[in-house]
Amino acid sequence: MFKKILIANRSEIAVRVIRAARELGIPSVAVYSEADRESLHVALADEAVCIGPAPSTQSYLNVEALLAAAKLTGADAVHPGYGFLAENADFAQACADFGLTFIGPTPQAIRKLGHKSAAKALAREAGVPVVPGTAGTIETGFLREAEAVGFPVMVKAAAGGGGKGLRFVRRPEDLEAAVRLAQTEAKTAFKDGSVYIEKFIERPRHVEIQIAADRQGGVAAFPERDCSVQRRHQKLIEESPSPAVPAKTREAMQTAAARLAKAARYSNVGTVEFLLAPDGKFYFIEVNTRLQVEHPVTECVTGLDLVALQIALAAGERLPFGQDRASEIRGHAIEHRINAEDPDHGFAPRPGRISDLRLPGGPGVRMDTHIYPGYTVPMYYDSLLGKLIAHAPDRPAAIRRALRALGELHVEGIPTTAGFHRRVLAHPKFRSGEFDTHFVETLKEEHAQGAQAAHRVPVA
């Protein structure tokens, strides 16, 4: 096992890794920018090193500073968390060259699966269903390729995710402009402007399979997470199991995910993402070669610690269980991403000082967060304040528990998205499980119409 782990990240995920390491008896090193000096992960770690100014390019994305911090503190392993450098093959390779163990997949696996078109080609070879589209990235003949696929289509950045470099095109005359915009955004975000085209699936659900694999070839695929409640391709609520996935489809998705992991010679944890069409067919989207933000829902329904498992697998240990254990489902879990945003004003970020805070608790409630009373949310990073997870014997009970926990959450000083989450849980479509990736847009329209009606002045 490792002597000391450096966590190349910040906020709630850094706190989560510190706690897992401590339970394993492994000292941890936090890194922080000048803007994060007062962050909770800095206080909780055994050691902390400032790695630069507030901008992430000068701190959390500064590979030389991270490696220097590892050398200074004697760390022999690096956990990248999610975001920043977590899916950067060059960083994983730099860690290896520096004599550090990267707690994640190999640089080769990251490269193989991190490029979407290459991952799609590998999925085809492995017999995993893929969305109809171009065989790889294309530089010319966009209209010809799009017409062959059939409108409407999506133009997608080959290197990256998070909704960047992504454009929906319904009409042929809009394609040229969409391609230019996607290429420009992809070049800015990922330093790679290559794109590909795939068929747009109407009214899909976003369903993903968590995988774990050891270096000896063992692979396990866990029950699915439904991430369909999202805004601009950013997930807001995740749950497991999905109310739309029958047992037979679940087993088929798990088999497909495990097959792809073996084809890529994958090790450590990762997530294989699928689109689930209304007719029940599923299609491969991409692989996230890291720990997901929504990993706690899988932990809740399986009773396993995925971060501790990451560390053990990176140390060369075998998977401590087989597929039967990985497939066990214990109740239902729902995760809510609580952000420092104003839902009534376009989800605009609202950083600032938290003057008072009350966190929810009680049976089946988990809150992964890094905030505390008096903490100032910096403007330089994402707006995630924490993740509220409710776990109960079944979905209706999990919804009731989540509503109770969201009502207990009290944050003063800045607006949050907690009220939006309560509206989602109260909506008949969410309660019935009959929703898709466009559900949030529908909810926003209904809320806006209700607000207009409330302010309408009656004519005498």
Active site residues: 290
The Cα–Cα gap between 296 and 201 comes to 28
| Of 247, 250, 306, 294, the residue nearest 274 (C-alpha) | 250
Q: What DSSP line would sit under 99-110, residue for residue?
A: T-EESSS-HHHH
Euclidean distance between CA atoms 386 and 405, whole angstroms: 13
The answer for residues whose C-beta is within 8 angstroms of residue 361's C-beta and 6 or more apart is: 367, 405, 408
All residues at 6 or more sequence positions from 236 whose CB lies less than 8 Å from its CB, including other chains? 229, 230, 336, 337, 417, 420, 421, 424, 440
HSE value, Cβ hemisphere, 13 Å, CA-based, for 151: 13
* Region label for 219, one of left (φ > 0), alpha (ψ between -120 and 50) or beta (otherwise): beta
Whether the CB-CB separation of 100 and 92 falls below 8 Å is answered with no
Q: How many helices (H) and strands (E) does the chain have?
A: 16, 22
CB count within 10 Å of CB 417 equals: 23
First to last CA, the chain: 78
